[in-house]
Amino acid sequence: MRYISTRGHTDPKTFGQILLEGLAPDGGLYMPEAYPRVDAATLERWRGLSYPDLACEILSLYVDDIPPADLRAICARTYTAEVFGSDAIVPVRSLSPGFHIAGLSNGPTLAFKDMAMQLLGNLLEYELARRGEELNILGATSGDTGSAAEYAMRGKKGIRVFMMSPHGRMSPFQQAQMFSLTDDNIHNIAVEGVFDDCQDIVKAISGDADFKRRHRIGAVNSINWARLVAQVVYYFWAYFRVAPDNAAEVDFTVPSGNFGNACAGHVARMMGLPISRLVVATNENDVLDEFFRTGLYRIRGRDGTFETSSPSMDISKASNLERFLFDLLGRDAGRTRLLMADRLRQEGSFDLGDDPVFAEAAERYGFRSGRSTHVDRLAVIRECWHQHGTLIDPHTADAVRVARAHAVAHVPMIVLETALPVKFASTIREAVGQEPPRPARFEGLEHLPRRLKVLPADAAAVRAFVAGTLQAGPG
């Protein structure tokens, strides 16, 4: 298996190479040259596997430069009951007949990002040790990626993390999870802007070839293919828990801001998993809903990005949409680059609404979409609690609301949970009038001392901070 750039860089790379690299040299995102296909016999064989064994089987289709025994050991070490709370790793529960929730939030930071980040941390440590190298990770978070990355990388040999977040825009719990970490290899940067500013800085610095090479800069955001392919696993796992046989189709609804989670579902579908429809749920920052409804992709900028009660989706530039667009355009790298680089930079938008290819987003690839608001998510949280005895977080509530609008009789609907309610306690209190349960290990979290650096939304300022920190050394 070799990997190519969505923007046409012509030097195919191995999995190990793109694991450490992040963005391609031309600013594109890495994609496999072709998706491996799984047949009915393979699905049947995979149906009875444990989660770590299923992860190994799927990853082995994309990884040919890690010995199979080592890959199996990495997966076994990652997906354990000690880390994820039970041998199921991803429990799937029924909210009502034919309507299910896949529990992705039982890891160390109580968010679905742990599912991929724990694996990525172990893969990075393995590859760096094998090469005798070090890596400095530069990342951006709207809420959950940051803590998941830091908890996965803390104490890892040869790895340092520089994580940017929008200053004051995460929930108090999310901020405390990140900023209370005092490990020498963890550095938090609060950027005076929105998540899109943080993401732009990551791309700007990653595009600086000289700085990236000198300071060994890597990525853990879902621009990193390894993180995305790890998320493919739970689509297969949830399917096996719900579908009565391997010919049955299911629908998935995914709360999405940066499109990484939904893109993993697209990959699973391209591999042959019988997914009928992939429903993308947004909040008031509805750039993805607008695209899938109309073909218009229009970034909103700092002033047009709303601060909402499902803050991890307060995003108007969905990086991973480029991977889907690459497939939608028949893997035309030139046109992908024209739209995602040139057109967005010059005009801030592009419109495929009148292009015949846009119809394929729904017809061939199964995508649908919808949006939710603060009033909607409060109502859904309240209803799920009072009628079903299930407490869900605001992002999952957005997905439940949109999923109901798209549900089809006799086709199971699986909603991907994104976080536990405790991470968004103020919204839960507003919805149901009580505090969400809190794991004992997080008692008093918001009162711990914090360590962070506040910087302007400027790539030069972040570049200088990273270089200065590395020059100063640990401590």
The pLDDT score that the predictor gives to residue 475 is 47
What is the pLDDT tens value at each position of the chain, 475 positions in all? 999 999 998 789 999 999 988 789 899 999 999 999 999 999 999 999 999 999 999 999 999 999 999 999 999 999 999 999 999 999 999 999 999 999 999 999 999 999 999 999 999 999 999 999 999 999 999 878 899 999 999 989 889 999 999 999 999 999 999 999 999 999 999 999 999 999 899 989 988 889 998 999 988 878 899 999 999 999 999 999 999 999 999 999 999 999 999 999 999 999 999 999 999 999 999 999 999 999 999 999 888 999 999 999 999 999 899 999 999 999 999 999 999 999 999 999 999 999 999 999 999 999 999 999 999 999 999 999 999 999 999 999 999 999 999 999 999 999 999 999 999 999 999 999 999 999 999 999 999 999 999 999 999 999 999 999 998 876 4
Question: Is 33 within 8 Å of 2 (Cβ atoms)?
Answer: yes
Which residues participate in catalysis according to the annotation? 113
Which of 245, 342, 344 has its CA nearest to residue 300? 344
Distance (Å, rounded) from C-alpha 416 to C-alpha 297?
A: 24
SS3 of 205, please? helix
Which residue(s) pair with 253 in the sheet?
279, 415
Q: Whole-prediction pTM value? A: 0.93
What does each C-alpha distance from 91 to 239, 244, 268, 343 come to in angstroms? 12, 17, 19, 42
**Tokens matching residue 291:** 């695209």
- Show Cβ contacts of residue 151 under 8 Å, excluding neighbours closer than 6 positions: 108, 109, 114, 117, 177, 181
With 0-12 / 13-18 / 19 or more C-beta atoms within 10 angstroms meaning exposed / middle / buried, residue 383 is middle
SS3 of 278, please? strand
The pLDDT score that the predictor gives to residue 474 is 60
- Show Cβ contacts of residue 207 under 8 Å, excluding neighbours closer than 6 positions: 23, 27
Which of 8, 61, 20, 73 has its CA nearest to residue 270? 61
Distance (Å, rounded) from C-alpha 95 to C-alpha 294?
A: 31
SS3 of 64, please? coil
Distance (Å, rounded) from C-alpha 475 to C-alpha 469?
A: 9
Whether the CA torsion 298, 30, 143, 183 is positive or negative: it is negative
Question: Is 219 within 8 Å of 139 (Cβ atoms)?
Answer: yes
Question: Is 429 within 8 Å of 115 (Cβ atoms)?
Answer: no
Whether the CA torsion 185, 260, 302, 21 is positive or negative: it is positive
The full set of domains in the chain, from first to last, is 92-109+232-432 (3.40.50.1100)
Longest dimension (CA), the chain: 61
Q: How far is CA 80 from the centre of its chain?
A: 21
Tell me 170's DSSP state: S
Question: Is 352 within 8 Å of 58 (Cβ atoms)?
Answer: no
- Show Cβ contacts of residue 70 under 8 Å, excluding neighbours closer than 6 positions: 126
Distance (Å, rounded) from C-alpha 396 to C-alpha 394?
A: 5
Give the type of residue at 390.
T
Distance (Å, rounded) from C-alpha 190 to C-alpha 199?
A: 13
Distance (Å, rounded) from C-alpha 53 to C-alpha 44?
A: 14
